[in-house]
Every structure is written in C-alpha cells, then in structure tokens.
Structure 1
Amino acid sequence: MLTLSIFAVLLILLMIDVPIAVAIGLTAIAFFVGMGQSDFLMMLPQRMYSGTTGFTLLAIPFFILAGNLMNTGGITTRIFRFAGALVGHVPGGLGQVSVISSMIFSGMSGSAVADAAGLGQIQHRAMVDAGYKPGISAAIVAGASTIGPVIPPSIPFVLYGAITSVSVSRLFLAGAIPGVLMGIAMMIGIWMMAGPRGLPSSPRAHLREIVASFKAAFWPLLAPVIIIGGITTGFFTATEASVIAALYALLLGFAYRDLRVKDLPPVLFASLKQTCGLMFIIATANFFGWFTIFERIPDALIMQLTAFGASPVAFLWIVIAIILVLGCFLDGNAIFLITLPIFMKLCPIYGIDMVNFGVVMTLLIMIGNLTPPVGMCLFAVDSFAKVGVWKLAYECLPYLVAILLVTILCAFVPEISLWLPNLLMGKEG
C-alpha cells in the first residue's frame, strides 16, 4: 500500500507539470514528514551530494559536450552524405539513410536527444525536400534517434553502471548487437512502408561518390573505433573515453573549419545547462532511492513476488509492463534512478544477468522517448518539424513495435547482448 501511495503521489506531481527533480525530492520529503520521520531529512544534502560524485558520472558531461560539438562542427553532415551514398537507392531512400546515419552517429554521441536535435534536423530537411510528408519524415528521425543510447557509447549505460556498479565497458559492448538489430528492424519497417506510403528513393550512387563521401567522413567514422577499441583493450576506461570523444570532436571541428572559437561559448553553455539539469535529477533521485530502501520497499516487493511464486519470465514481463507505463510519464534517467534501487535487488534472486538487464531497461526507456505525454525525442524533433507531438507519436508506432520486438528478444535471449562482452572481455566470475 505504501509503495502504491508513493508512486501515485509522484505521478500526480508530474502530471501537474512539477519539474521532475522537484517532484522526486518532494515525494520523499512529504512521506518522511507524513510518517513522523522528519529527523531523517538531515540526510537530504548528504544523499544529494553523494549521488553526483561518482567517478563514472564524469562521463555524462563529456559525452553531452561531444554530441554538441559534433552537431556544431559539421561532422553530422559528412555522416549523412556517406550514409546516403550507401543506401539512398534502397526503397525508402532517405528514410534508410536516416537510420544508417543515426547508427553511425550513435557511435560517438551516446544521446538520443543529441541525435534528434542535431543530425535529425539535417535528416528531416533532406527528406521533406525530397517529397516526404513532414509527419513521416519526423517519425523516422525520432525513431532512428533512439538507436543513439544503445549502440556504444551511451549516457544511459553510464548512469546504469553508476547506480548498479556494473561494468560500463561490458554494458557498452552489450549494447552493440541490440542497437544494430534496432536499426535493421526499423529499416525493414521503412522498406515495407515505402510502396504504400509513396516514399521516394534516390538513384544508386556511383562508386566515385561512395569513395568521396567515405573520404570526407573517414575521421568521424574512426571515432567509434577509437572509443570502443580503447575500452576493450583496456587502454582507457569508459569515463576517460568520454573525454577523448569530446577532444576528438573538438579537433575535427577545427580541422574541418566548421567550428570556430566564437562557437565554443554557446556550445559549452548548452552542455553545461544539459548537465546541470540531469545532475539535479540524479541528486534528488538518489535521496528518493535511499528513502525507498530506508522504508524497505524493495524487501516488501520481494516478499510479494515470492508469495505469488513469480518466475524469472514472469518477473521480466512485470518489469517490461512497469517501465512501459512509467515511460509515458517520466524521463528515462528518472526511471533508472527511481526503479533500479528496487530492481537491482530482485534480479539476482531470479538469476537475471545485470548487464543484459541494463540493455533491456535502456531499450524500454527508448520506447518511452517515443511515447507521449513525456517523450523526449518527440519534443526534440517537434521543436523543428512542427507537426504536433500527438501526430508524431502516431506516426512513430511502427518504430515502437520494432524496438519492442528487439527488447523482448533481448530479454528472453540474453546471449544476444552478452555474446560480445563475453567474447572480448571474458565471462564474469
């Protein structure tokens, strides 16, 4: 009963447009006071501070900065041109190009919103100019942008690793194959819709154009190789990789002369704003997580699930249902911070691998990015597409189905995500 009351209050606060960080913190404070435990509020500053001081979390601002530098430094244009030369002639033409370019860009930024807001504008403009309806074009951009946090590097994986103490390097590798499967599923969906919805395609590119576009995009394409190669060889950690990604994006921007010194202040300020907003949510959510543990909510849920005789399969279906519902109302980072303190205690009981669980959770959160009323990718794309959030959400349904199918596959066939980290880093203990 207490658990339902807590989450009911939290959802009510969110539905009346209370900022996420404030809603999370207020919920914990209200229940401490309401249950006569206000003395424990002295822990609020300490828990908020400790929630944002982990070494792993240092990767978040640098990956955010890397994504913003890439969007400003002309890297996205080169990636889009190369993807167009490869698959522009396939049915669905520029829609297929958008998915491929997002898969490439995701190997550098790790953020769905960065993908949608930066590369997405180039994709949308190109598709509309080629004759795509704005709603269809915007939906393709929004759907493709969700690949960003699954193919490494990934900001959600960094956050998941910081909360659960799971190796971020293993999480990065675990996301590679599911991310590629997401892209393939979306490309199949676009190919199937190409005829019925009249999606044009481009003439097949000449070999000369393929080579020229590859040369132009060579150094950006090298970024994922450097990042993932360095992590798997142990040359640097996932956190250090974020710094390297940001420096690499900075060097390329200046080398291509698309980034100037006067562009740096707005890029740095935008990155600072995004980082501060996310860190404030992390800080208050850490206090909320401590509150749930203090009130023994995970223990109560364990007892209830044990009493029901829930199997590992049933538990996974329960998780999928919970996250899909929460994804309609909460930002993905908030979902991680609220639910993981509970789920991370339940997974070992049911023999669920925490690395694969991280991949499944991230995929579910990507679905939440495409579901209103709080779909972050919908907001990011609609900010320039101007087609309306609800119409955009409707057009995104085929991509939601594609992501959900990949999610279910990964949830119940964990070898899909675990094969690569086990191959390159060996099996854990």
Structure 2
Amino acid sequence: MIWILVIVFILGLVLRFPIAFALGLACLSYLVVKGVPLIIVPMKMYSGIDVFVLLSVPGFILAGNLMNQGGLTEKIIKFCNHLLGHIRGGLSLVNIGASMLFAGISGTAISDTASMGSIMIPAMKKEGYDTDFSCAVTAASSTIGPIIPPSVPMIIAATLSGLSVGKLFLAGALPGLLLGVGLMFTAYFISKRKKYPKHKRSSLRDVAGSFVDTFWSLLMTFIILYGIVGGIFTPTEASIIAVVYAMIIGKFVYKKLNLKNTQVIVLDSMKTSASLMVLVGFANLFGYILITEQIPQEISKEILGFSDNKYVVLLLINMLLIVVGTFMETIAALLILFPILLKVAVAVDVDPIHFAVIAVLNLIIGLTTPPVGVCLFVASSIGKISIGAVSKAGLPFLLVSFLVLILVTLFPSLSLALPNLFID
C-alpha cells in the first residue's frame, strides 16, 4: 500500500506540482485507498504546525526580507569590496564574503542566490569575469546561508527532534565558516589562473566607513545569537525582536523602508511563511503514514543490517541525502527524512546535534548539485546562461563542499565545540 504514496508523490513532482501539493495529494490518495477517515488530515496537519518554535520561522523570514529591502545587501557588498577587492579575483571573494555576512540575516540559500546574484553576477560580468564562473560562485556561496546562524533549516531540525535551537545555531557556525573559507581559496586560485581583475587597495578610512555602514545590520545577528544562547529570549521572541530591529534600521538608519514597500515585503513574507507551514503540515501527515507502515523501522533495520559501524552508517546516510537534496528542496527533505535518519544515527552513537549539522549540510550541497540543483537554476536564470555551463564551472566549488562535509562528518568537534563551550 505504501507504493501508492510513493508513486503519486513522484508523479506530482514529475508534473511539477508544488512539493507541498504533491505531498498532500500522495497522502490523500493513500488514505482514500486505505479507507482511513479523512478527519485525520486536519488533525495531523494541525499537530504538525502546533509547535511553538515554528512561530520563529515567519519572523526570521520577515526580518530577512526587511533587512534585504532596507539596503543591507548593498552595504554588505560595499564593505566586502573595500576589504577584499584588492585581491586577484576580488569580486568573487566579495561575493562569497558577502554571502557569509548575509547568511546571518537570510537563513536560506535560495534567497541568498537571488539577492546576491541580482547584484553580483551583472557586476562581475561587467568587470570581465566569465558568466559561468560568476554564476557558479554565487550559487556555491549561497549554501553558507542555511549553516551560519540564524538558520531556518536548523529551526526545522530542532522542531522535528526537540533539540535546542541555540545549540544547533552554534553548531553550524564553524562548519559554515570552514565552507566559506574553502570556497574563497578555490575562487582565488581560479581567478589567479584566469587572470581576473582586482581593484586598487582601499584606505583604512574607506574600510572603517563601510564597516560603520554595515555594523547596524550585522549587529542583528549578534543580538539574535547572544539572546538565544544566553537564555535572554526564546527563538520565537528573537524573531520578533529581529523584525522590530530590522524595521527601525531600515526606516531610520538606511532610510530605504517606507509604508508602501513595507506592505509588499510583509505580503511576500506571508506567502513564503504560509507555503512553508502547509508543507510542514503535510509532512507531518506523511510522517504519520510512514510510522503507521513501520517504514522508519524498516529503513533503520536495513541500514544497521548492512553495518553497525558509525562511519559506514554516516557514509550511507550522506550518499542518500546528497541524492535527495539534488532533487528535493531542503526543508521538504528535512521534514520527510530527518526524523527517520536521526534514529538510525543515534543507534550508532552519533550525537544528535552533530547529525543535524551533517543532514543540513548534505541537503544544501544538493542545491548546487547537477542536474536540478535549485540554486544553479536561479543563478543561471540571472546570468542568462545554460544550467550545464554553470554546473561545469561549479565543479571545483562542489568538490570543496564535499570535502567540508567529509571533515564535519569525521570530526564531530567541528560541530560540537561551540555548543559544548557556551551551553551546558
């Protein structure tokens, strides 16, 4: 009977239904054929979204959109350009550096690709960078967003597992920085080989001035992280504080927000949040069906039957998540697979916080993996170039991402050092 669920879900994806609808239709088909009373649909959907920490997701989405439209992106790019523009291939480093800073505000890879790409890809093309390289750098660097806190996928992982949001935020910091530095070195060596341009070194006055302009937006990340980790406020309260802070900075400091564009931002954020909550609701129904059919137990049995070695199990899970991440959006994949695979990982003595970072990192790498990585499509559409060309140019960055994934998998301290240091 479970094959009805799988076939309808895959058919919905092939027909390009929104993934929430494909998931909902698959669940409905299964329940009808199985003869289960349909009252279970609203009950399970409501129980899926009736989680306090999920209230933080709309808040962080709105705060990120307010800061982005309020002039944050341009300020961050200007600061990074003064700091890194004098190095060979400086704009590619600026692209990555800006994504690392923007990650603390956005929290999602696709929004980073769209926001940074719309500015950086045309600028890089204008200065003589190859279009495929410009798009590849933008797509690759956007994967830092869901790792460096605050991170929407980390909030979802915490919701699904009961783990501490503060610990997950801290756990993603070092892997995110490691990924960013690795991408920077790769971009530098490619730029040096292709003799991409560099700018004149900026004066300390210019660097300091641009930092002051950027400081107020970066302060929000510190407030959010310190407040959650320090126990001053909950993630949900932090998201509302972030919204109020973003509105004040956008209105009175950067002076880019007004009543008209704020209304548009709020409406767009509502649409994004609503679609995400519908997905969470259907995913909970999907999970209920899987548990009813004892699918998690079967998957766990098969993986552990193959090997009970921790690293072999993590290798198998990594391979599965990379493939899934290539074809499925990060949040949807987390909702469906994370609770199942977490039980398998815990069974072989993998720390849940460590595994959450591994899972999120896997799935965001999938966003830049050919042939259907979503960030590749966004970047290629901005650069007006084929997805194949962007995929080829992005292979060196993809290899670095895989290397970081291997390091994070093999060395738990990369994920656990900060949570263990700051949170008992």
Tell whether the structures are fold-level matches, with TM greater than 0.5: yes
1:83 corresponds to: 80
Q: Distance in 2 between matches of 1:130 and 1:419?
A: 41
Amino acid at match of 2:367: N
1:152 corresponds to: 149
2:207 corresponds to: 210
Q: Distance in 2 between matches of 1:6 and 1:394?
A: 35
Q: Distance in 1 between matches of 2:347 and 2:4?
A: 26
The answer to whether the 8 Å contact 1:151/1:179 transfers is yes
Q: Which sits farther off after the overlay, 341-350 or 87-96?
A: 341-350
* Structure 1: segments with no counterpart, 5+ residues: none
Q: Distance in 2 between matches of 1:56 and 1:396?
A: 36
Aligned-residue offset at 1:78: 0.9
2:401 corresponds to: 403
Q: Distance in 1 between matches of 2:322 and 2:10?
A: 14
Q: Distance in 2 between matches of 1:288 and 1:373?
A: 27
TM-score, with length taken from structure 1: 0.94
The answer to whether the 8 Å contact 1:329/1:372 transfers is no
| Cα deviation digits, residues 74-111 of structure 1 (max 9, x gap) | 11111111111111112221100111111111112212
Aligned-residue offset at 1:293: 0.7
Q: Distance in 1 between matches of 2:45 and 2:237?
A: 24
| Cα deviation digits, residues 171-194 of structure 1 (max 9, x gap) | 000000000001001001001101
| Cα deviation digits, residues 149-184 of structure 1 (max 9, x gap) | 100000000111111111111000000000000100
Q: Which sits farther off after the overlay, 121-130 or 159-168?
A: 121-130
Aligned-residue offset at 1:21: 1.1
Question: C-alpha root-mean-square deviation of aligned residues, in Å?
Answer: 1.8
Amino acid at match of 1:66: A
1:23 corresponds to: 22
Aligned-residue offset at 1:9: 4.9
Residue 189 (structure 2) aligned to one of 188, 192, 200: 192
1:319 corresponds to: 317
Q: Distance in 1 between matches of 2:3 and 2:203?
A: 60
SS in 1 for 2:251: helix
TM-score, with length taken from structure 2: 0.95
State whether structure 2 residue 356 is matched by structure 1 residue 358: yes
Residue 347 (structure 1) aligned to one of 345, 349, 352: 345
2:9 corresponds to: 10
Q: Distance in 2 between matches of 1:7 and 1:374?
A: 20
The answer to whether the 8 Å contact 1:80/1:97 transfers is yes
Distance 1:391-1:12 versus aligned 2 partners, 3 A rule: farther
The answer to whether the 8 Å contact 1:327/1:374 transfers is no
SS in 1 for 2:105: coil
Identity within the alignment, %: 39
Q: Distance in 1 between matches of 2:194 and 2:307?
A: 47
Q: Distance in 1 between matches of 2:374 and 2:46?
A: 26
Q: Distance in 1 between matches of 2:329 and 2:308?
A: 28
2:308 corresponds to: 310
The answer to whether the 8 Å contact 1:231/1:237 transfers is yes
| Cα deviation digits, residues 352-372 of structure 1 (max 9, x gap) | 111111111111111111134
Distance 1:383-1:246 versus aligned 2 partners, 3 A rule: farther
Amino acid at match of 1:65: L
Q: Distance in 2 between matches of 1:247 and 1:269?
A: 16
Q: Distance in 2 between matches of 1:167 and 1:305?
A: 27
Aligned-residue offset at 1:55: 0.9
Aligned-residue offset at 1:198: 2.9
The answer to whether the 8 Å contact 1:331/1:374 transfers is no
State whether structure 2 residue 383 is matched by structure 1 residue 377: no
Q: Distance in 2 between matches of 1:117 and 1:210?
A: 26
Q: Which sits farther off after the overlay, 413-422 or 25-34?
A: 25-34
The equivalences for 1:175-190 within 5 A come to 175-190=172-187
The answer to whether the 8 Å contact 2:326/2:363 transfers is no
The answer to whether the 8 Å contact 2:2/2:30 transfers is no
Give the paired residue count: 423
| Cα deviation digits, residues 215-261 of structure 1 (max 9, x gap) | 21121122222111112211112222222222222111112211122
1:280 corresponds to: 278
Aligned-residue offset at 1:413: 0.8
Amino acid at match of 2:208: V
The answer to whether the 8 Å contact 1:174/1:355 transfers is yes
SS in 2 for 1:288: helix
Q: Distance in 2 between matches of 1:418 and 1:220?
A: 27
Aligned-residue offset at 1:196: 2.3
* Structure 2: segments with no counterpart, 5+ residues: none
The answer to whether the 8 Å contact 1:170/1:425 transfers is yes
SS in 2 for 1:203: coil
The answer to whether the 8 Å contact 1:77/1:119 transfers is no
Aligned-residue offset at 1:379: 3.2
1:225 corresponds to: 222
Q: Distance in 2 between matches of 1:393 and 1:267?
A: 32
Q: Distance in 1 between matches of 2:104 and 2:185?
A: 21
Residue 71 (structure 2) aligned to one of 66, 69, 74: 74
The answer to whether the 8 Å contact 1:59/1:238 transfers is yes
Amino acid at match of 1:252: I
2:336 corresponds to: 338
Aligned-residue offset at 1:271: 0.8
Q: Distance in 2 between matches of 1:375 and 1:4?
A: 26
The equivalences for 1:97-112 within 5 A come to 97-112=94-109
SS in 1 for 2:83: helix
| Cα deviation digits, residues 203-224 of structure 1 (max 9, x gap) | 2111121111112112112222
| Cα deviation digits, residues 17-65 of structure 1 (max 9, x gap) | 232112212223333444xx32254311111111112111111111111
Aligned-residue offset at 1:3: 6.7
